[in-house]
Amino acid sequence: MYQSKTKNIVQEQIQFFNTGKTKDVSFRIKQLKILKKQFEIMN
C-alpha cells in the first residue's frame, strides 16, 4: 500500500517538474520561503 502511494507521489512530482514551472525564479523563492516558515514552526 505505502509503496503504491509513494510511487504515485513521485510520478506526480516528475510530471510537475516536467512542466517547467520549477525553473521560474519567483516560484523557487516562494517555495523556499514556505519551507523556511515550516522550519521556524518546528523549532
Q: Name the grid cell of 32.
A: 523556499
**Percentage of the residues of the chain whose pLDDT score is greater than 90:** 77
How far is it, in rounded angstroms, from Cα 30 to Cα 43?
21
Residue type, 20: G
State the pLDDT confidence band at 12, using cuts at 50, 70 and 90.
Answer: very high
Task: Give the three-state DSSP class for 1.
Answer: coil
How far is it, in rounded angstroms, from Cα 1 to Cα 12?
17
**Percentage of the residues of the chain whose pLDDT score is greater than 70:** 98
27-42: per-residue pLDDT in tens?
999 999 999 999 999 8
Residue type, 8: N
